[in-house]
Structure 1
Amino acid sequence: SNVWYEFFNGNYAFYFSGPWNVREFKLRQPPNMSGQWGTMPLPGPNGLGAGIAGGSSLVIFKSSQSKQVAWRLVEYLSRPQVQARFHSIIGDLPPRRSTWHFPGLAEDPLARAFAEQLERVKATPKVLEWERIVQEMRLITEQVVRGGVSEQQAVEQLDQRVDKILAKRRWIQQQVGKGPHAEGVHP
């Protein structure tokens, strides 16, 4: 389904997303909905909940022939003024706390909830398959929301799906443990 259409037609009371979607919501909102919706920090069982730390990284490869130029780009992109401009153009959240004091961010009511949420983030699990697992969570949640699967069935199905996704990783780790670099075996 089209989440923006469903949201603005009142079929969704709320929509879990992040700052990357605010711009899209603004672009797709009907004129009569301007100023009629907002953002909130994630709820938790006993008050405000934790979010997931995400984002992107700026990397300079060790073997790069352009390390100095690349580093200048990283320095430029790390400036609070540049981060504030990125936010105004595409909605990305700035990683530097000092950037949040710029008027465009400090006065943005839709960004405020994300600033609060950033104070309670947790790291995602350190497995390469995390994005695939998140996709499975989305799929099974959709089935619960649409009424085809009970909460208990959803938890059981998700457990089976995640176990299957991680089975390959467990197999690889077992093979590495049997190889020439296994504990106690030195080449």
Structure 2
Amino acid sequence: MAAAGIGTAAWATGACTRRADPDALSFWAMGYEGDYSPHLTTAFTRMTGIRVETQTLSWTEAHEKLLTAFAGNSLPDVFMLPAHWVGEFAMVGALARMPDATLLDDMLPGALNLTRAGGSGYAVPWVIGTQVQYYRRDLIEQAGYPEPPADWAEWRQMGLALKRRYPDAFTILLYLNWPEALLTFAAQLGAGLLRDRNTRGDFASPEFREALRFYKSLFDDGLAPRVLATQIQDPVGAFAQGYFAIYPEGPSLLLDMRRRAAEIPPDKWRTATMPTPHGPAAAPGACHTLVVAKTSRRPREAWSLVRHMTSVPSGLRFQRLIGDLPARASAWRDPQLANPTLKPFAEQIAHLSPTPALVEFEQIRAEVQLIAERVVRGLVDVNTATTEMNRRVDLMLAKRRALVEAGRIA
């Protein structure tokens, strides 16, 4: 799934621009999904005669643009929403209800699990993803391991062996301003993040504190560099040069690795599931869904487009083009997805944990990671940090808490 900020060029016409063809369906999506969606909509037009105008939204602006379009009564007919945004857009009345439950037939349980909390009845899972380890096979083998160990303790020993062999390099890249790794470790330990019907933080729990300690230890032991995403402008190039041996990322990196095969040949890297504390464990996942605007003038045709875009053939084509993983279960029985590189994704997708379906969760993630960065830099201890996380998150959720207590929202 595409990283934030990728694929912004097609936004140049703006969110509320009139359609060039008033009879066409309009379709918006973010990142690579937006950039490559014409490869799918063209086939829809051939089959139905219905034209589709597509636009790519910048991830950094998408939420605001969609809300602005809703306020201005100019939402597209069909658009992409991350699963944890669906509840918010449904609550404000932006979304049409799904007319046919068969749109959800053949979905992976993990995809339905990610959309059920806030998107039931509104959103159809489109593509699904989770973070795995992309690892330098050659470097790992030189340290004496055929592949990264599956549990935290042995994985750490491998990391220390790599550090001894390559003292000026690192084992793993964990950006200090990206929360995915910390939240993955927390999910593996069963940390719930929020409590009291998602109205208060639960970051002082023993599970989350253990996850934060493990996260901090990777930096303390010199296994991960203390860097922000802005400090490594070309992570694939750094991975190719051996600056780090393991790069945790989602399926969208597959496209970049294919494009950069001259720098890092396919035989030099592999994928593996993320290490876990004690065997198979939950993993955070991301699911991008397709929805229809309540204001669509052609809802029947719009849902027909959703069915086409989320079909097995469309999912397989998107996987070939950009690495996105389809949400339809039967797509995973196709030989195309039997590639060993995709096996770790399949294994983790079988154990996905849902993201809290709150509009505030993006801000919560950012705030928690800001405090985690202070822990990594030695400015605050784990117990003080998690208490502060709870305090800040409780303030963010004060309005929601009041609405829940008043019975106005579930």
Q: TM-score, normalised by structure 1?
A: 0.74
The worse-fitting range, judged by mean Cα deviation, of 77-86 and 15-24 is 15-24
Letter in 1 for 2:406: G
Give the root-mean-square deviation of aligned CA atoms.
3.0
Pairing 1:45-64 to 2, within 5 Å after superposition: 45-64=277-296
Q: Deviations over 1:117-170 (max 9, x none)?
A: 111011112322112222234444444455555444543443333233223433
Show the counterpart of 2:336.
Answer: 104
Letter in 2 for 1:155: T
Contact 1:58 1:74 in 2 (8 A): yes
Which of residues 368, 383, 386 is equivalent to 1:155? 386
Percent of aligned pairs with the same residue? Answer: 35
Q: Partners of 1:131 and 1:60 in 2: how far apart?
A: 23
Q: Partners of 1:10 and 1:142 in 2: how far apart?
A: 24
Q: Partners of 2:240 and 2:369 in 1: how far apart?
A: 21
Which of residues 378, 390, 396 is equivalent to 1:165? 396
Determine which structure has greater relative contact order: mean sequence separation of CA pairs < 8 Å that are 6+ residues apart, divided by chain length: 2
Show the counterpart of 2:357.
Answer: 126
Contact 2:257 2:264 in 1 (8 A): no
* Helix, strand or coil at the partner of 1:45: coil
Letter in 1 for 2:323: G
Q: TM-score, normalised by structure 2?
A: 0.38
Contact 2:254 2:322 in 1 (8 A): no
Cα 1:121/1:32, change in 2 over 3 Å: closer
Which of residues 116, 134, 137 is equivalent to 2:347? 116
Q: Partners of 1:150 and 1:165 in 2: how far apart?
A: 23
Cα 1:35/1:80, change in 2 over 3 Å: same
Contact 1:144 1:150 in 2 (8 A): yes
Q: Partners of 2:285 and 2:264 in 1: how far apart?
A: 34
Which of residues 306, 313, 318 is equivalent to 1:86? 318
Cα 1:155/1:99, change in 2 over 3 Å: same
Q: Deviations over 1:6-62 (max 9, x none)?
A: 444444443333213332344456624533222222333211221224212221234
Q: Deviations over 1:90-134 (max 9, x none)?
A: 221100111112232212x33221111111011112322112222
Contact 1:42 1:48 in 2 (8 A): no
Q: Partners of 1:7 and 1:67 in 2: how far apart?
A: 46
The worse-fitting range, judged by mean Cα deviation, of 141-150 and 14-23 is 141-150
Letter in 2 for 1:114: F
The answer to which structure has the higher helix fraction is 1
Letter in 1 for 2:273: P
Cα 1:116/1:131, change in 2 over 3 Å: same
Pairing 1:70-81 to 2, within 5 Å after superposition: 70-81=302-313
Letter in 1 for 2:300: Q
Tell me the CA shift for residue 69 of structure 1.
Answer: 1.4
Q: How many residues align?
A: 176
Q: Partners of 2:261 and 2:366 in 1: how far apart?
A: 26
Cα 1:8/1:73, change in 2 over 3 Å: same
The worse-fitting range, judged by mean Cα deviation, of 158-167 and 125-134 is 158-167
The worse-fitting range, judged by mean Cα deviation, of 5-14 and 90-99 is 5-14
Q: Partners of 2:391 and 2:254 in 1: how far apart?
A: 34
Show the counterpart of 1:136.
Answer: 367
Contact 1:41 1:49 in 2 (8 A): no
Unaligned runs of 5+ in 1: 182-187
